[in-house]
A and B are shown apart, each in its own frame.
Chain A
Amino acid sequence: MACNRIARGGVALGSVLAVWSAGARADFAVNMTPGVTAISREVYDLHMLIFWICVAIGAVVFGVMFWSIYHHRKSRGAVAAQFHESALVEVLWTIVPMLILVAMAVPATKTLIRMADARGADLTIKVTGYQWRWHYEYLNEGIDFFSTLATPQDQIHNTVPKDATYLLEVDRRLVVPVGKKIRILTTAADVIHSWWVPALGWKRDAIPGFINESWTLIEKPGVYRGQCAELCGQDHGFMPVVVDAVPEAEFQQWVANMKAKNLPAAQAANGGQPL
């Protein structure tokens, strides 16, 4: 009987799984990406550290609780004790968590300080959020362009099959060099957006009227995808970020191509005179 039911359950589960894997990439990603920068790895380590601390505390507390639920039940003839305080344990379980918190705060503080240090950047890119696309401006190179969702409406409305990069593809990617410190200034032109690529380890809000500074140094060439992370209206879910990290030489080639394509209004660099 029971076996039969389990078997039937298994078949049902199996068929559900089959439906899933047929339609989609059976990814089942359950954790944060360690990413491709030193900072993103630090953040990942921090995340795992706190996670395991929580698991350990949970195991102890819930362990005690379940032990008690099993043994101290009336149906097993347990007679209730009447104690209701103990200065010692109450002091202990105030102080011990404090110490654990300090142990968490130390590495978190160190990482935060490193993240705040945007000095010595090799290039600066201004990222501007629009409803509903991103605008990128390479400040030193004088290159700028919009980057818009490239997924066709047909796929969104389910009339044609979806690509593997459904909702995560743009017409023009943000091309950046690997191994270079890139300073990113975020701002927005209408409402607040948030520029986020998980592999880079952080997100930063793009706020109209203000610029926000952050930085990244990508170690591995590759295509890294992310999305707008702050509700920005109707098409908030449809403004992805795609970063194409390429070797330095390839990046220079790309810059040269871009410059050749749209000769911008001559912009004076390194000018200016003291009064």
Chain B
Amino acid sequence: METQETKSALATANRRVVRRLLLAVAAMFAFGFALAPLYDVLCQITGLNGKTGGRVAVARPVVVDETRTVTVEFVASLNAGAPWEFAPMVTRMAVHPGQYYQTRYLARNLTDQRLVGQAVPSVAPGPAARHFQKVECFCFNRQKFEPGEERAMPVTFIIDPELPPEVRTVTLSYTFFKLDDAGG
């Protein structure tokens, strides 16, 4: 028959297993959330989903590569329920890597209410995303619109000369979302 000691030793062993496993559960729960920032880092590195980085420093000295011309296409999309008119003012540009360019997107509030919108950039092909650097962009901030207001919103960008040589066309797409109060 089991003695009292073996019983309590077993209870201790069980408690130890439970404690460790609960710790593992907590860690994996946290890991699920940690995947969110990890994923963003991964996107920046790999251009997953054509996500672009945020603002880049302007001061970086760059050499303009006059020998290379890249076509940049500008695309606009409206999310469902975003009551704007939204379009690029220029649909394509021939650019040299290393040179700064500016273009503008035109947006008009189609309602008689004040609206707040947010543009979300995406670049295709994915591997070009991190070489498409925006110095100034209306997508860095929320955009407030008065009723019926029409506005041209600028984006200043530079194509990094390190853009993989096989890329000849880069598409910059903005999707305009309406932010409601809940959405911040």
Where the two chains meet, the residues of A that have a C-beta atom closer than 8 Å to any C-beta of B are: 117-121, 124, 126, 128, 130-131, 139-140, 142, 183, 185, 187, 189-190, 207-213, 265, 267-275
Contacts and interface: CB of A to CB of B under 8 A. Distances in A.
Nearest to A190: B80
Given A269-B91, A272-B90, A274-B101, A189 B77 contact: yes
B89 to A, nearest CB: 7
A213 B177 CA distance: 21
A128 B77 contact: yes
Nearest to A212: B124
A274 B103 contact: no
B156 A211 contact: no
Interface string B24-50: 000000000000000000000000011
Contacts, number: 98
Main secondary structure on A side of the interface with B: loop
24 contacts: A124-B169, A131-B80, A139-B73, A139-B92, A183-B169, A185-B75, A187-B173, A187-B175, A189-B80, A209-B79, A209-B177, A210-B49, A211-B75, A211-B123, A211-B171, A212-B50, A213-B125, A213-B171, A270-B92, A270-B93, A271-B93, A272-B90, A272-B92, A272-B94
Interface hub of B51, B77, B92, B168 (most chain A Cβ within 10 A): B77
A120 B91 contact: no
B100 A274 contact: yes
Given A270-B94, A274-B101, A124 B171 contact: yes
Interface of B: 49-51, 73, 75, 77-81, 87, 89-96, 99-103, 120, 122-126, 156, 166-169, 171, 173, 175, 177
Which interface residue of B120, B168, B175 has the most chain A CB atoms within 10 A?
A: B175
Given A124-B171, A209-B175, 4 more contacts: A139-B75, A208-B175, A211-B173, A272-B90
Contacts of B100: 274-275
A121 B73 CA distance: 13
Contacts of A119: 166-169
A238 B109 CA distance: 32
Given A189-B78, A274-B99, A139 B49 contact: no
A268 B90 contact: yes
Contacts of A275: 100-102, 156
Top 9 A-B residue pairs of the complex, sorted by shortest distance between their CB atoms:
A272-B93, A213-B124, A190-B80, A189-B80, A211-B173, A210-B122, A271-B90, A209-B120, A275-B100
Contact of B122 (A183, A189, A211, A271): A211
Contact of B125 (A118, A124, A126, A273): A118
B122 A272 contact: no
B126 to A, nearest CB: 8
Contacts of A269: 90-92
Contacts of B79: 189-190, 208-209
Contacts of B168: 119-120
Contacts of A120: 168
Contacts of A139: 73, 75, 91-92
B99 A209 contact: no
Nearest to A137: B75
Contacts of B156: 275
A272 B173 contact: no
A148 to B, nearest CB: 15
